[in-house]
């Protein structure tokens, strides 16, 4: 059998999202030169995807740098590449700590065409934000009273509303409807169908960083373009969905020149690649769907169970462009409140008939000089997945009807629409991960555990796992994804290059 140096090891990265790109960058910097990326689609970036609505740049996937401050590697890269505006990079912006929930200047519209004032909405928002904060604290203290965030918030909201709004009972019904709107928005933040599916005990596993969330003025994909420029031109094989990773494999094909590789990667088009190590960065949604066939031998039970326990859901955007705004000049967020929804719930009873009720509201794209009058609607869950199956015309028609109802203005007509369809994207199968009821941070660690598992006599570190869902504190984010790619690259680096700083062993 031919001997190769460790730096010659064949490393394949599956998926060219930010975690895959980050892993490749790090490995190449440390002297590994046989690094390849296999990507199912024709593009890099995965869930970082910038699109166009007329002349406007819009983000189909990731929107913000969450917590843009020194500790955030995405922020650091964006600063290095000079992709942010001055305000986003300022020390003041980096110091603002809002615990992951920035306070936007809102306009509240109701289904009877009313606009709600601060005296009505203030107490409901305050109560909801307090409950959200309390929901994150069981992680440290344990003993959560209810299994899910949704059940906890609803039970506590009912109790506190009776206690705190005794003197103001006339407003209780509308405030309950507002809490439903906030619950629906929280479904978008967590990327879940209902907050009843999000585990209360593990909710606080997610950590926020200081810094007021900021955007990339020229589009998030600019970050990907800059990162890709640092990689060799031919590193990515596009349009090559991987069907199966055969690991612990000893029969290599004729093109392996007498060398033995523990892994054969089989693509959907029948092509195969021999590898020493594979870093899998595909979305958890894809892994859930193909859990029984993506690896051979199949995933060990402990990993399989964690994949099944972890949550992965859908959050979609609906962009609308208007001739004129119907919102106030300083408005940053528009909420829609259905007045008849006074019973606390964040799901609709009939998805086909009432999917639009799950649309929690819109962000106003700012500044107006750059975007004109563009809103980004947010809708999560199965209602969002159903929305994806409708034609653009049907979505536009339904949203227009709702806006007319809520503003009391029968002439409002958006002139353009663009929506995302993350659930039906065959290589994402949804938007991002969340800690589902019954799962814990250990499931995330399990997901990140390389194959073969510890204690095996087989060649170590054959299949490594990165991607946003594998980051214990920053799952569901771009920075979590990037850090996970770096983590797996470092795992290989420290395997081959111990403290001495040079490649140590033969393969
Ligand atoms: C963030 C934000 N953001 C909105 C929406 C979405 C996401 N995120 P990738 O999928 O990128 O790459 C994998 C590649 O693998 C891909 O190219 C595939 O084609 C390929 N592949 C798949 N199968 C394959 C196969 N078989 N063979 C070969 N290749 C294959 N994150 O920081 N800020 O504003 C948002 C948002 C609509 C969809 C987001 C945001 C999530 C990020 O986009 C995402 O994590 C990373 O891009 C993933 O990179 P990756 O490399 O891992 O995978 C308390 C508490 C609550 C916790 N949640 C807090 C909320 C934070 C999340 N916020 C999200 C909000 C928005 C708006």
pLDDT in tens, 94-104: 999 887 777 78
For 31-60, b where at least 16 C-beta lie within 10 A, e where not — what string? ebeebbbbbbbeebbbbbbbbebeebbbbb
Nearest CA to ligand 1 atom 16: 46
Sheet holding 35-38, edge to edge: 236-237, 35-38, 11-14, 277-280, 463-465
Nearest CA to ligand 1 atom 31: 477
**Three-class SS of 398-417:** HHHHHHHHHHCCCCCCCCEE
Give me the domains of the chain, ranges plus CATH numbers: 6-48+217-311+436-496 (3.50.50.60), 101-207+315-419 (3.90.660.10)
Give me ligand 1 centre to Cα 224, in Å: 13
**Does the structure show a pLDDT above 70 at 174?**
yes
Give me ligand 1 centre to Cα 47, in Å: 4
CB atoms closer than 10 angstroms to residue 79: 15
User: What is the average pLDDT across 154-177?
Assistant: 93
Amino acid 143: pLDDT: 84
Give me ligand 1 centre to Cα 297, in Å: 27
Beta pairing class for 263-267 and 106-110: unpaired
**Does the structure show a pLDDT above 90 at 140?**
no
* Rounded Cα gap, residues 227 and 195, in angstroms: 35
* pLDDT tens by residue, 66-122: 999 999 999 999 999 999 999 999 999 999 988 777 778 999 999 999 999 988 999
Element (H, E) at 318: strand 315-322
**Does the structure show a pLDDT above 90 at 168?**
no
Structure tokens at 174: 């509308």
Nearest CA to ligand 1 atom 1: 477
Amino acid 504: pLDDT: 61
Amino acid 506: pLDDT: 56
Identify whether the C-beta of residue 283 lies closer than 8 Å to the C-beta of residue 291. no
Ligand 1 and 478: CB distance under 6 A: yes
Give me ligand 1 centre to Cα 268, in Å: 23
Ligand 1 and 64: CB distance under 6 A: yes
Amino acid 497: pLDDT: 84
Ligand 1 and 363: CB distance under 6 A: no
Amino acid 36: pLDDT: 98
Give me ligand 1 centre to Cα 25, in Å: 19
Give me ligand 1 centre to Cα 145, in Å: 31
Nearest CA to ligand 1 atom 38: 431
User: What is the average pLDDT across 232-251?
Assistant: 94
Amino acid 221: pLDDT: 98
Give me ligand 1 centre to Cα 471, in Å: 12
Amino acid 253: pLDDT: 62
Amino acid 167: pLDDT: 83
User: What is the average pLDDT across 141-151?
Assistant: 90
Amino acid 169: pLDDT: 84
Amino acid 201: pLDDT: 94
Beta pairing class for 236-237 and 242-246: unpaired
Give me ligand 1 centre to Cα 241, in Å: 18
Most confidently predicted of 115-129, 141-155, 308-322: 308-322
Taking each helix axis from N to C end, the angle separating 18-29 and 478-496, rounded to the nearest 10 degrees, works out to: 30
Report the Cα–Cα distance between both ends of the chain, in Å, rounded: 11
pTM of the model as a whole: 0.96
Give me ligand 1 centre to Cα 430, in Å: 9
Ligand 1 and 333: CB distance under 6 A: no
For residue 18, give the ligand 1 atom closest to its CA: 51
Amino acid 252: pLDDT: 67
- Per mean pLDDT, which range of 52-56, 193-197, 352-356 is the poorest? 52-56
- Residue found by looking up tokens 């585990």 in the block: 199
* Rounded Cα gap, residues 419 and 38, in angstroms: 27
* pLDDT tens by residue, 404-421: 999 999 999 999 999 999
Backbone torsions φ then ψ of 485, nearest 5 degrees: -65, -45
Ligand 1 and 46: CB distance under 6 A: yes
Structure tokens at 232: 């060799």
Nearest CA to ligand 1 atom 37: 61
Amino acid 2: pLDDT: 53
Ligand 1 and 63: CB distance under 6 A: yes
**What is the overall mean pLDDT for the chain?**
94
Percent of residues, the chain, with pLDDT higher than 90: 87
Of 483, 485, 389, 467, the residue nearest 428 (C-alpha): 467
Ligand 1 and 436: CB distance under 6 A: no
Nearest CA to ligand 1 atom 23: 427
Amino acid 109: pLDDT: 97
User: What is the average pLDDT across 294-311?
Assistant: 97
Give me ligand 1 centre to Cα 303, in Å: 21
* pLDDT tens by residue, 417-443: 999 999 999 999 999 999 999 999 999
Q: How far is CA 22 from the centre of its chain?
A: 17
Structure tokens at 440: 């814990």
Query: Within 13 Å and on the Cβ side, how many CA atoms surround 450?
Result: 23
Of 507, 459, 13, 8, the residue nearest 280 (C-alpha): 13
Percent of residues, the chain, with pLDDT higher than 70: 96
Structure tokens at 482: 């990037």
Query: How many helices (H) and strands (E) in the chain?
Result: 17, 20
* pLDDT tens by residue, 444-485: 999 999 999 998 989 999 999 999 999 999 999 999 999 999
- Residue found by looking up tokens 């690649």 in the block: 273
DSSP 452: S
* Rounded Cα gap, residues 265 and 70, in angstroms: 38
Give me ligand 1 centre to Cα 46, in Å: 7
For residue 430, give the ligand 1 atom closest to its CA: 38
Nearest CA to ligand 1 atom 55: 206
Give me ligand 1 centre to Cα 420, in Å: 13
For residue 47, give the ligand 1 atom closest to its CA: 11
Amino acid 292: pLDDT: 95
**Does the structure show a pLDDT above 70 at 364?**
yes
Of 61, 73, 153, 76, the residue nearest 474 (C-alpha): 73
């Amino acid at each position: 059998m031919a001997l190769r140096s460790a730096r010659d090891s064949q490393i394949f990265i599956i998926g060219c999202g930010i975690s895959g790109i980050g892993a490749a960058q790090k490995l190449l910097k440390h002297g590994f030169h046989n690094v390849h990326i296999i990507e199912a689609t024709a593009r890099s970036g995965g869930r970082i995807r910038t699109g166009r609505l007329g002349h406007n740049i819009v983000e189909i996937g990731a929107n913000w740098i969450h917590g843009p401050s020194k500790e955030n590697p995405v922020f650091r890269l964006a600063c290095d590449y000079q992709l942010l505006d001055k305000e986003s990079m300022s020390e003041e912006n980096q110091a603002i700590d809002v615990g992951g929930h920035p306070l936007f200047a809102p306009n509240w519209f109701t289904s009877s065409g009313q606009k709600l004032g601060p005296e009505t909405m203030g107490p409901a928002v305050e109560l909801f934000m307090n409950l959200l904060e309390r929901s994150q604290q069981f992680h440290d203290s344990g003993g959560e009273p209810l299994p899910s965030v949704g059940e906890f918030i609803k039970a506590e909201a009912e109790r506190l509303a009776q206690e705190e709004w005794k003197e103001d009972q006339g407003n209780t019904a509308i405030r309950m409807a507002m809490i439903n709107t906030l619950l629906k928005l929280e479904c978008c933040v967590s990327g879940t169908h209902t907050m009843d599916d999000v585990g209360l005990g593990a909710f606080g596993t997610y950590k926020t960083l200081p810094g007021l969330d900021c955007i990339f003025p020229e589009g998030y994909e600019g970050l990907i373009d800059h990162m890709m420029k640092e990689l060799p031109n031919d590193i990515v094989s596009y349009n090559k969905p991987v069907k199966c990773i055969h690991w612990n494999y000893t029969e290599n094909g004729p093109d392996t020149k007498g060398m033995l590789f523990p892994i054969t990667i089989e693509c959907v088009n029948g092509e195969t690649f021999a590898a020493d190590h594979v870093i899998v960065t595909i979305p958890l949604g894809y892994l859930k769907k193909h859990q029984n066939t993506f690896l051979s031998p199949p995933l060990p039970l402990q990993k399989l169970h964690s994949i099944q326990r972890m949550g992965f859901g859908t959050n979609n955007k609906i962009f609308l462009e208007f001739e004129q705004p119907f919102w106030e000049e300083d408005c940053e967020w528009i909420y829609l409140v259905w007045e008849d929804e006074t019973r606390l719930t964040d799901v609709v009873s009939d998805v086909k008939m009432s999917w639009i009720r799950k649309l929690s509201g819109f962000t106003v794209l700012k500044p107006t000089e750059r975007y004109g009058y563009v809103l980004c609607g947010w809708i999560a869950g199965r209602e969002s997945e159903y929305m994806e199956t409708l034609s653009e015309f049907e979505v536009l028609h339904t949203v227009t009807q709702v806006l007319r109802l809520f503003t009391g203005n029968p002439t409002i007509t958006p002139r353009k629409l663009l929506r995302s369809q993350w659930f039906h994207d065959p290589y994402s199968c949804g938007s991002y991960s969340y800690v589902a009821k019954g799962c814990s941070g250990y499931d995330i660690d399990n997901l990140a555990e390389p194959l073969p598992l510890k204690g095996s006599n087989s060649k170590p570190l054959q299949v490594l796992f990165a991607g946003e869902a594998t980051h214990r504190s920053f799952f569901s984010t771009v920075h979590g994804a990037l850090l996970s790619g770096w983590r797996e690259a470092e795992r290989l680096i420290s395997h081959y290059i111990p403290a001495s700083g040079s490649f140590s062993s033969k393969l």
